[in-house]
Amino acid sequence: MPQDMSPDAAYRRDADLRRRINAFLCKTFQLPERDYFGEIDLGSLLELKSVLSDINNTLTMRLTLGFVDWAAKTLQMDQAALMGLRNDVLKAKPSSNGYDVSFAHAPPIVAEVKCNVPINGGTKYGAAQKNGIIADIEALLNGKSKASTAPAAADSLKFMVFLDVPAVRAANSHLIASNSRISKEFVILKAGQVPNDPKVVYGVYANLGA
């Protein structure tokens, strides 16, 4: 019987995870080569899962702060408004109800911050990622039932904030081109363009803030 030589034939999930985790730990923390994966017990895995959640929350917080810096410059906020918005972001608990940014500026602004990148190193979102972005766009336009503040006011400028990396830019272009539900409601803001239409959601690419 001929041996199966297809690309998937030699794949082993445990070996792949072991290789990737060990390589990450050695490279990131400059550790000596060793099978750290094999030494992780259940308690350590659960603790690591909690740490990874904190890392994701940190990435979201820093991207939100990057958007704050962008908004302050683009909307010409004074220093007091900038500091007020930064404090609002830093006081918000991770995964709290409501929008990631909600600020009574003139005009008021609301924003959702997305740190996801296309799955498997590609340039298109997976189904769950795509549905999540569409749901957030609709929540910005129509309000959130569990938000601690009132639904997004009709005159609020609305934003979806993304990591400024080529794969995310490509995935957003594909999302807009392939989805008629949001093609007229979701507009990627061009460089130097000042947002002024509260009837659409502006896509903004931001760098990580500090």
- Calculate the average pLDDT of the chain: 87
7: confidence class by pLDDT, cuts 50, 70, 90: low
Is pTM beyond 0.75? Reply is yes
Q: How far apart are CA 88 and CA 171, in angstroms?
A: 30
Mean pLDDT within 51-58: 88
- Provide, rounded to the nearest whole percent, the portion of the chain with pLDDT above 90: 55
| Residue 8: pLDDT over 60 | no
pLDDT at 46 over 80: yes
CB contact set of 49 (below 8 Å; sequence gap of 6+): none
Does the pLDDT value for residue 181 go beyond 70? Answer: yes
* 145 three-class SS: coil
For the chain, give the number of residues: 210
Cα 84 from Cα 70, distance rounded (Å)? 15
Q: What is the mean pLDDT of residues 91-118?
A: 87
Looking at residue 2, its pLDDT comes to 46
3-state secondary structure of 81: helix
- pLDDT at position 200 is 92
Q: Which two tokens stand for residue 43?
A: 């308690």
Tell me the per-residue pLDDT of 165-178, one tens digit each, with 9 for 90 and over.
999 999 999 999 88
Classify each residue of 14-23 as buried b or exposed e, where b means 16 or more C-beta atoms within 10 Å of its C-beta.
eeeebeebbe
Label residue 1 by pLDDT band (50, 70, 90).
Answer: very low
Using pLDDT thresholds of 50, 70 and 90, give the confidence band for residue 136: very high
Q: Say what percent of the chain tops pLDDT 70.
A: 91
What confidence score (pLDDT) does residue 144 get?
A: 74
Confidence of residue 114 (pLDDT cuts 50, 70, 90): very high
Distances (CA, A) of 51 to 38, 150, 156: 19, 33, 35
> Is the model's pLDDT at 131 over the cut of 80?
yes
